[in-house]
Amino acid sequence: MKTAYNADQLVVSKFGGTSMGDAACMLRSAEVSLKQGSKLVVVSATSGTTNDLIELATTAEKSSWEKASVIINKIKTKHEKIATDLELPESQLKIMNEMLVELESMSRGIHLLKDCSLKAMDSMQSFGERLSSILFTQAMNIVLKKSNPGSKSEWLDAREVLITDNQFGKARPETQEIARLCAKKLGAIKHENTVYVTQGFIGSTIDGMTTTLGRGGSDYSAAILAEGIKADILEIWTDVAGIATTDPRICPEARAISEISFKEASELATFGAKILHPATLMPAIRSQIPVFVGSSFGAHLGGTWVKKDVEDTPLVRAMALRKKQVLVTLSTPEMLYSHGFLFQIFKIFNDHKVSVDAITTSEISVSMTLDDSALLNKALIRDLEQQADVQVEEDLSLISLIGNNINHTPGLAKKIFDAISDINVRMICLGASKHNFCFIVDGAHGEEAIKRLHKTFIG
Ligand code: ADP
Ligand code: ASP
Ligand code: MG
């Protein structure tokens, strides 16, 4: 069967939650991967299921069993409906039902102990991808049977290859071990008549504990596995036809970008564009794997290629908004004419495994932005207070303009601040990157700032 690429190109495709929404979405996504000639398909949980599983875990921990049961039934009903629609064979149905029983037992355990650790939370969340991938394997088999009867689809437990450390909730992949296991288990994938279907988002520690890579992590899983099997192309299929100049939900005029460099796309993902998990491009950059982003709902609409070199390098290519930011300002006269202060501060962030995004310093103070989830870590703030006066401002938005030669272009800052002259800018970060200019505004003004800047720079 003719596919989108040369027969010798190894393709990994990832489908997000909306592409797994119901049986029709799964069949449509399976058709796309067949047409693209993918050999490894990485899938997310069905849309909304990861949220349901998190709600289930917290309800089981903190509330009544009746309330938890309602959520379990919702998850069951949704997956059973897809299984019926796809005529899931008896043997697969048995596996799915066993998973649902396991989910109920685990929830019961959390409820009885009134304790849901990060480790338990990862196991709970893993059911989303484990269930959807069983169903998608069947969808893939249905389309293969019609168009490519000699081939078949096989379910692969990602935890057999995607080995991570034990940082539950945001585990880090062990790249060398993954490469070794990929070679062992999937070494012949290119020449097999099999399409492997596996789970995004989840992994396992070396001693078999289930982990997750953090919310939205299926993109990252797909990139890690693409690197592991030495793929030539990575495709990310979602609900929009590629990366747009900004989030289309904020700005309906946002346009799809046909090509973007790895560096720009990394900045865009890190600074808030939900379309790609921020870590996705690391393996792709390391292994020089071009990434395509498109819509499984309209594969013919084209999409965006993310790659090392691109022809067009505009000053402002795109912009992103990251909500729920906090600005932490540390002040102490001890910073004056002394050294080592920043080292002490960043050691604290390092010890608490909290990442800092934008930073500015003055003679006796330093301000930095964090995601608001960092405030849940009370010990972090306590440790910072040992070093300096700590001021925390909440509900801010980080606006980033992404493009090229941004820190060497006269007049750019004037144009930006003219467009938002009536909005207070709380902090600015410019200079560290050729590709990014970012600043902080009050959360209430974030979307308005994006709309005006989009009009000014993209039109
Ligand atoms: P998936 O479940 O397929 O991973 P996500 O919801 O994680 O999908 O990401 C897709 C969404 O990202 C889009 O529906 C869109 O609203 C949002 N988004 C944010 N910024 C951008 C952007 N610059 N271009 C396209 N989509 C964006
Ligand atoms: N299902 C996970 C989430 O919703 C991972 C993903 O979809 O990428 O965060
Ligand atoms: Mg996503």
pLDDT given at position 1:
60
Probe target for ligand 1 pocket from 274, 276, 400, 451, with the most ligand atoms within 8 Å of CB: 274
Q: How much is the pLDDT for 200?
A: 98
Ligand nearest to the CA of 20: 1
Q: How far is CA 29 from CA 14, 255, 289, 445, 454, in A?
A: 10, 23, 22, 37, 32
Q: What percent of the chain has pLDDT over 70?
A: 100
Domain 11-239 sits in which CATH superfamily? Acetylglutamate kinase-like (3.40.1160.10)
- What are the residues whose beta carbons fall under 8 Å from the beta carbon of 328, sequence distance 6 or more? 367, 368, 369, 370, 384, 390, 391, 392
Q: Calculate mean pLDDT across residues 225-247.
A: 97
What residue owns the CA closest to ligand 1's atom 11?
Answer: 275
Domain boundaries, the chain: 11-239, 316-457
| Mean of the per-residue pLDDT values of the chain | 94
End-to-end distance of the chain based on CA atoms, in angstroms?
42
How do beta strands 365-371 and 359-361 pair?
A: antiparallel
Sign for the pseudo-dihedral over CA of 106, 108, 112, 114: positive
Confidence of residue 375 (pLDDT cuts 50, 70, 90): confident
Q: Would the pLDDT of 339 be above 90?
A: no
Q: Over the stretch 139-162, which tens digit does the pLDDT of each residue have?
A: 999 999 999 888 999 999 999 999
Size of the chain in residues? 459
The answer to whether the CB of 227 falls within 8 A of the CB of 233 is no
Indicate the residue type of 48.
Answer: G
Question: Is it the case that residue 116 has pLDDT exceeding 70?
Answer: yes
Ligand 1 closest atom vs CA 44: 2
* Whether the Cβ atoms of residue 30 and residue 139 lie closer than 8 Å to each other: yes
pLDDT in tens, 162-185: 999 999 999 999 999 999 999 999
Query: So what's the pLDDT on residue 176?
Result: 97
What distance in angstroms lies between residue 452's CA and the mean position of ligand 2's atoms? Answer: 31
pTM over 0.75: yes
Pairwise CA distance, residues 404 & 451, whole Å? 21
Confidence of residue 2 (pLDDT cuts 50, 70, 90): low
For residue 370, report the distance from its CA to the centre of ligand 3, in Å: 21
pLDDT of residue 446: 97
- Ligand 1: distance of its center to the CA of 47 in Å? 13
| Average of per-residue pLDDT across 182-202 | 96
Residue 41 has pLDDT above 90, yes or no: yes
Q: What are the Cα distances from residue 419, in Å, to 171, 254, 399, 450, 451?
A: 41, 17, 13, 10, 10
**Which ligand 1 atom is at minimum distance from the Cα of 243?**
24
User: How many angstroms does the Cα of residue 16 sit away from the middle of ligand 1?
Assistant: 10
Question: CATH homologous superfamily for 316-457?
Answer: VC0802-like (3.30.2130.10)
Kindly tell me if the per-residue pLDDT of 335 is higher than 90. Answer: no
